[in-house]
Structure 1
Amino acid sequence: MAPIVVIGTGLAGFNLVKEFRKHDAETPVVMLTSDDGRNYSKPMLSNGLARNKTADELVMASPEQTAAALNVTVRPGVSVTAIDRAAKQVVLGDERLDYSQLVLACGADVFRPQLEGDGQDAVFSINDLTDYARFRSALEGRKSVLVMGGGLIGCEFANDMAQAGIQVHVVEPMGRCLPLLVPEAASQAVSAGLGALGVSFHFGPFVQRVDRHGEGVRATLSDGATVDVDLVLSAVGLRPRIALAAEAGLAVDRGVQVDRQLRTSDPQIFALGDCAEVDGHVLPYLLPLMASARALAKTLAGTPTDVSYGVMPITIKTPACPVVCVVAPRGTAGHWQVEADGHHVKALFRDEQGQLHGYALTGDACSEKMALNKDMPALF
């Protein structure tokens, strides 16, 4: 019997298999990954520095331990070069592996902007455990970092590094923190909280070039200003990994397109997590991933199950100013109602009929999350 094959051993892949084993203890499962296959929680990467955690200390299980615990085969260090849908095989270079059902849990790549200058080797990004280890090693003995991007990841790392004693500069072209997630009042609360930790913000320009300068680098911004730091961390967003699916002829758009059962345009191939566009939604966050894993596990075990996305709050790990938000679905017409008291902001996004579709809470207002969730409609 051909196994179920899962491409990817991140949160999506491991949580899917963990849920699947609750329904089916015996069907063979093979997990493929190009990295070392260690099980860790990716959200922990952005608060590991302040806790002085090495990459090894963030690992929850080795591939051998995971394989034994879940009764699966984990194959680290392999690259899937193609999917042969007609033969129901994945291609690993010269090797071919049969599958009964295939799951794409490939995640997303960091977006790396084009930069000029000779300091490119001092520009890092953190998208997995190996990236974290590399950056942490480079940061040893250093005192300053420029973060490109003031979104969720950029703010979390800025908070983490500032708590670890690093001087942090954040460059955000869109003019404020978390510009795609929260309204301006909440952005101001976050920047004030991070500023109190010593984080410096450069709102409006973007980083144009990075040049070697003494022992560190000099970043030149689009407005002509320069910032001298030891290292640069790029945190300007993620792009779902869709190339493998596209080359196999699967439907893709912003992500690998799947229906409510996480099924692609090929009925034997599924996708979930950061690489998936679920019924038109790309939600690279923990709660949608977990809901998808639970539903898809049932489908793979023989009980077709639609995923249900209820209220999906996003918790942003910025202890200097805690944030939780729900982003209104794309295209929802409405307006913000904002109450602000210093770092404590309660912003509600309502439509013209008064229905709540989103919120942004900072500081003490985060305690209202559960009550607001009860007033929100499910996404689907």
Structure 2
Amino acid sequence: MPTKIVYGNESLKDLDKYINGRKTLLVTSEGFVKRGLVDKVKSITSNIVEVISDIKSHPEFTDLKKVYNFIKNIDYELILAMGGGSVLDASKFFSVQNQEKDYQFVEDIIKGKREKKEYIITPTISIPTTAGTGSEITPWATIWDMEEKKKYSLYLSELFSEVALYDATLTLSVPKNITIQTGLDTLSHALESIWNKNANPITVGYAIKSAKLIIENLVKLSNDLDNLEYRNNIMKACMYAGLAFSNTQTAVAHAMSYYITANKGIPHGIACSFTLPMLIDKVIGKYDFIDNALFDIFGELSSNKLRDIYQVLNISTKFSDYNIDKEEIESLLFSLQNNQRAGNSLVSM
């Protein structure tokens, strides 16, 4: 994992030394313009040559194409991605080019219509402003095609960020619902990297550290959103989970979530996590290393503690509460066939 990790409250102030004089394209979302963060970045560095601030949640090809064709006429050497997972993923998409800077070249790579070669990568500095996706320290980007109701994954080994800058003060304005959703996304990353065919003692160690921080802090943070200690603990959990699943990838909970988000509009953090108690119950007793990890996290071999946390957070674990009936569950299971993420899982569906 080649990304340089910079961690600390107010570490944004050191941004200019990582930009190091390069002409920089700032990619963010409209909310950060309104919050004054773009102006703050411009006060720290004079190297911003253009700001892209219309990145939407769950980036789709149709939206990214417009931006891609606009920025190809801009002279920049570095992309600075500041925002949630959607901004970070979109920035990775923009960082891939060929000599002609042809949008279709990138879409074809993602959709498997072109070999992964003859591309150029623009380096990226990532500043996450939510504590959930871990995109800042992984080589993947999720792109959606809602016409096809399908999620695509962009993967190139060079897509790791050059720098991931963690500053928990930037998460203080994240509202309660997004705080919970992104925290549960982190928990899913951690647990999914444990019941995973690609797991090893190092990744499991990071996953345990991550999951314990979520279990110990997410409810507290949901009731005290201005608490910087809790914000830091959740951000560390996100980072540790990223270090784990950047090596293992995710597994069956995420594989199911893509169908659920595309077809039911359920936010990703909920779609990938409401099944976790069920999966815990399925995997207990199957592998000693998983049992040991789950006991370390929850202090027991059951899903009861997590179910109690979900009840406090008002997160249902019932498919029916997400308008998924028995017939649609069959379609969901069918969607898992030949799915790489589902294939990573040590939990049989």
Report which of the two structures shows the higher radius of gyration computed on alpha carbons. Answer: 1
Which is helix-richer, 1 or 2?
A: 2
Which is strand-richer, 1 or 2?
A: 1
